[in-house]
Structure 1
Amino acid sequence: MTRVLHLITGLGLGGAEHQLLLLARHLPVQCEVAVLAGPTTLAGELRALGVPVHDLNMAHNRDLSVLPRLVSLIRRGGYDAVHTHLYRACLYGRVAARVAGVRRIIATEHSLGDDHMEGRSTSWPVRMMYRATERLGHTTIAVSPTVERRLRDWGVPEQRLVTIPNGLDPALFAFSSEARERVRAELGLAPEDFVVGTVGRLVSTKRMDVLIDAVAQVPEAKLLIVGDGPDAPHLQARASASPASARIVFTGARQDIGAHLSAMDVFASPSEHETFGLSVLEALANGLPTLYTTCPALDDLERPEVLARLDDPAGRPAPDDPPARRVPGTAEDYAEAIGELRDGPQRPRPCAGAARAYAVDGLVARLVTLYQADHPGPMTTPEEAHP
């Protein structure tokens, strides 16, 4: 059986980390995971699936001592492919895999915005380091055509790029009336409460402060914020100072996202910088009316060539799909849209076609092809790898 080592920077509750967990559940290959450093929240779930997790104990971003440990791990494992995820793992992983002589070196670029990557500015040194190590691999996967375009703009050759969208398991996010009742009871929300919710890492680029200000303008609406991150103290202070403070609930990081989505009546995502928009698709899989400012995954479904590549016409809206509406990213615009949904009719909660279009099966099939390819893509010589 094909053996693949996934290398990731950390195993917290972010989108890339959850994508890796999804792959471990569904890939028909033998997976192992190595983590450089940081939180290992999802390590237990991976091990429960029978996936070995190797902690490399990297001390800091420039801890070069991790390289020989990683090379040794790769050589001992005899992997057919090394697949890296997130910036630091891509830098170190491509170098180590090349030294170890791995035949297939693949990286997924999960989080590249116009001027930021994983919360860091895409400065000239960041871009140069990325380009230098990218040349040591075979294939770089962009999670959307938007990300592929940005990588081309950085100078990554088109022949080493492939777009494979993120995937999701719609069943994990399906609406559950039992979960709705349970989560609302746990959070002190009444059955009749009108609840606006959002899910994501609490960082400034997600602009959750917009929702705090918006809910203050919608009488009786409550706001449920699911997630954690460095911006949490600022957001909690802003919520405490808001006239709607008693109507705002922070849950912290949670793994049962489907259950928390079921507790909501409307999902809102005011982020203006998304590389894919997975949380929007998860909300649509739950059948939630969804307000968003940026979601490349939905934009791409308007392009016939993307639908053809996904091989799933279910991406086209159906009459019973939950509404998904683009909203300019101001508190006033979100307040107006939330108010309209509050006063509108109650709807059933079926999975939207857009969510079904990105079901994990297609993602898995295309990755297996890369893992097993005789010629997964061009790779430069060490001399050519210098920028």
Structure 2
Amino acid sequence: MYKVLVFGMTTNIGGIESFIMSYYKRFDRTKIHFDFLCNTHEKIAYEDDLQELGSKIFKVSMRSKHPIKYHKEINHFFKKHASAYDCVWVNVNSLANIDYLKLAKKYGIKRRIIHSHNSQNMDGKLRELLHFYHKKRITDFATDFWACSPLAAKWFYEDNLLPQVEIIKNAIDLKRVKFDRQKRVKIREKYNLENNLVIGNVGRLHFQKNQVFALDLLKNLIKENPNIKMVFVGNGPDKKELMKKVNNLNLGKHVIFAGIQKDISGWLSTFDLFLFPSKFEGLPIAGLEAQGNGLPIVASENAIPKEAALNDNLAILSLEDNTEKWCDAILKYSHLSRINSKKIENNFKKFGYEINAAVPILENKFNK
């Protein structure tokens, strides 16, 4: 059995966590086994599911909050456990912290995969400087270089390394996000949305996802249609700022903060349009899930790259386009029909984003 130590799971059910989980639960676990190393002592996303699959979950303190404790715990972990693993697979949004790779090398894990899931800095200036410093040294510690998209590869790796980078598709389970009319009716009744045009956004409440811009658009949209409601599914550091902006713009009757939700199919089915104005992404799971539901989408060119624009009821705009152009696109596309499930399945299989077709490809990369 090929044993892999995985880093990348956090307390948040986000894109990386969903990506890892979607693949691993479909792997032949008699041949490939995952254990997880996490920099939190809290319960992580999918922890119960992972334990049911037979995975061990090891936890160390956060470097940013408890640096001395973190270094002691992580060194102890690798010294004690490294010999049990054939490979370490590090899934991250930046190279600010590569301790996991350094210690994996020091303690003899022969294969060390670094996997890029983002295309721009989403942290402070110090972490950005650390990213670019480690970018020049990553070949000293990693043996394999992966990315979720060409854009994510370019952000992570020096140009001379790009020919070696393998693109791993963020494939999704279409059954998990399939349109469900009963769920749509139930959620719309619960939140009094029956007679509204519902614009939805799913993602961390963070400047990267650009929900501030979405609220500016909403202020203009309700002038055209006062029955519009905007729903944010997710949580994050910008929630207070966004709620303050809702109050300042007098949008309280038009905005719902739904928090973190597990039933992604139900919420996508509730929406009439998916608004995705991110400032940057790697290759976003949320954009693929919305397409898997068949939803009409209006997105920024930074949110959904061309290779992940699979359906034809999708408008891609520049964030430099004016508010009027964005609002016109939203009003136009919100009245388009959903794509039917058979066409969705064909589109996803054609471009390699359907999970069952993608699983053996990734399995083979671990078995090579």
Q: TM-score, normalised by structure 1?
A: 0.81
User: In structure 2, what is the Cα distance between the partners aligned to 1:227 and 1:367?
Assistant: 29
Query: Pick from 130, 146, 149: which aligns with 1:141?
Result: 146
* Counterpart position of 2:56: 52
| Equivalent residue letter for 2:355 | V
Query: Pick from 105, 111, 129: which aligns with 2:118?
Result: 111
Give the deviation of 1:370 after TM superposition: 2.8
Query: Pick from 314, 329, 346: which aligns with 1:324?
Result: 314
Range with greater deviation from structure 2 (217-226 or 10-19) = 10-19
Give the deviation of 1:193 after TM superposition: 1.9
Gaps of 5+ in 1: 303-314, 316-320, 374-387
Residue 53 (structure 2) pairs with residue 37 (structure 1): no
1:336-355 deviation per Cα after TM superposition (whole angstroms, max 9, x unaligned): 2222234x354454363544
Give the 3 Å change call, closer, same or farther, for CA 361–135 of structure 1 in structure 2.
farther
Give the 3 Å change call, closer, same or farther, for CA 335–200 of structure 1 in structure 2.
same
Please show how residues 13-28 of structure 1 align to structure 2 within 5 Å. Answer: 13-28=13-28
Partners of 1:108 and 1:140 within 8 A in 2: yes
Partners of 1:5 and 1:32 within 8 A in 2: yes
* Counterpart position of 1:308: none
User: In structure 1, what is the Cα distance between the partners aligned to 2:160 and 2:133?
Assistant: 11
Give the deviation of 1:158 after TM superposition: 3.5
| Equivalent residue letter for 1:79 | Y
Please show how residues 1-387 of structure 1 align to structure 2 within 5 Å. Answer: 1-8=1-8, 10-28=10-28, 29-37=32-40, 40-42=43-45, 43-60=47-64, 62=67, 63-75=70-82, 78-86=84-92, 87=94, 91-113=98-120, 116=121, 118-121=122-125, 123-152=128-157, 154=158, 157-158=161-162, 160-186=164-190, 188-218=191-221, 219=225, 220-294=227-301, 298-300=305-307, 321=311, 323-329=313-319, 330-342=322-334, 344=335, 346-347=337-338, 349-350=340-341, 352=344, 353-356=346-349, 357=351, 358-373=353-368
| Equivalent residue letter for 2:362 | L
Higher normalized contact order (CA 8 Å, seq sep 6+, divided by chain length): 1
User: In structure 2, what is the Cα distance between the partners aligned to 1:284 and 1:348?
Assistant: 8
* Counterpart position of 1:384: none
* Counterpart position of 1:307: none
1:13-71 deviation per Cα after TM superposition (whole angstroms, max 9, x unaligned): 22112212222212222111111227534123322333221112345374322332231
Give the 3 Å change call, closer, same or farther, for CA 191–48 of structure 1 in structure 2.
farther
Give the 3 Å change call, closer, same or farther, for CA 366–158 of structure 1 in structure 2.
same
Give the 3 Å change call, closer, same or farther, for CA 185–298 of structure 1 in structure 2.
same
What secondary structure, in the 3-state scheme, does the structure 2 residue paired with 1:127 have? helix
1:223-276 deviation per Cα after TM superposition (whole angstroms, max 9, x unaligned): 011111111101111112224320110011222222111110100101131221
User: In structure 2, what is the Cα distance between the partners aligned to 1:9 and 1:301?
Assistant: 24
Identity of aligned residues (%): 19
Partners of 1:278 and 1:297 within 8 A in 2: no
Q: CA RMSD in A?
A: 2.6
Give the 3 Å change call, closer, same or farther, for CA 140–53 of structure 1 in structure 2.
same
Range with greater deviation from structure 2 (64-73 or 102-111) = 64-73
Give the 3 Å change call, closer, same or farther, for CA 292–49 of structure 1 in structure 2.
same
Partners of 2:95 and 2:156 within 8 A in 1: no
1:201-225 deviation per Cα after TM superposition (whole angstroms, max 9, x unaligned): 1111211112212122222111011
User: In structure 2, what is the Cα distance between the partners aligned to 1:135 and 1:296?
Assistant: 32
User: In structure 1, what is the Cα distance between the partners aligned to 2:338 and 2:119?
Assistant: 35
Q: TM-score, normalised by structure 2?
A: 0.85
What secondary structure, in the 3-state scheme, does the structure 1 residue paired with 2:102 have? helix
What secondary structure, in the 3-state scheme, does the structure 2 residue paired with 1:168 have? coil
Give the deviation of 1:80 after TM superposition: 1.9
Gaps of 5+ in 2: none
| Equivalent residue letter for 2:360 | A
Give the 3 Å change call, closer, same or farther, for CA 259–39 of structure 1 in structure 2.
farther
Partners of 1:12 and 1:40 within 8 A in 2: no
| Equivalent residue letter for 1:81 | C
